[in-house]
Structure 1
Amino acid sequence: MSTSDHSAVPVPVPAPASFAVTVADVELEPDDLDPGQIVSGDPVVTGKVLWESPDGKQVRGIWQITPGVVTDVEANELFVVVAGRATVEVEGGATLELGPGSACVLREGDKTVWTVHETLRKAYHISH
């Protein structure tokens, strides 16, 4: 799994009419991180898909990464950081300082370097 494109094939989750979760309390599952993406440290990625559209074009979930530096190629994503801190450098673009409460939009194809200072947990929505 890359840092935020969530390339692991998620198991489709039946969509209830409505639901709520406490993001900090959701039990996360191990997720793949390509060793080629790791620049430094020993980051570990976990996540949980909460909902996926029947056509697989929209995915919503929770994702977490422990400290380290990784590269990624992004998907179209909106996320909100609920815990932790990171600096995300977008190639040819901005350097984003993320912490609890930060809302971030990344564009499909953005090449990024994530420096995770404190274990970061986010709630995300990806559209393909």
Structure 2
Amino acid sequence: MDTRSKAQRSFIMKSVRSRNTGPELVVRRTLHALGYRYGLHRKDLPGRPDIVMPKHKAVVFVHGCFWHGHGCPKGRLPKSRLDFWVPKIDRNRQRDRESVRLLRKSGWRVLTIWQCQTKDVESLSRKLAKFLTLRNRKNSRGSHQ
């Protein structure tokens, strides 16, 4: 049973943003601090990635743990209306997998950052730097051989 009235729940759900979320802003600030520049929400790419770095042929998705079915505590399904939530989250996960598949097929490197991973900015920074510098090392080795 939902503890909120229908009007309260509707108000809460309408306030959930899909762009410029708190976790997305943390990732963007971290990338900027590392010296990387990027574009946002490219409509011409599968899944409309949150962050796009054409120079590195890399995209970053910043997923909310609940909405994309992460296995952490924030990703737990509600106890009510499972007939609605299970198929919804499953569709989101299926759409995510398909977007990643299409992007990789087109030569893009893909990194998914989960909402819960944005709490530890140091760890997040290391993860982003590793993802982006691996490409640079591969390119520089390949061009000298």
TM-score interval (norm. to shorter): under 0.3
Q: TM-score, normalised by structure 1?
A: 0.24
Task: Give the number of the structure whose alpha-carbon radius of gyration is greater.
Answer: 2
Q: TM-score, normalised by structure 2?
A: 0.22
Q: Which has the higher strand share?
A: 1
Q: Which has the higher helix share?
A: 2
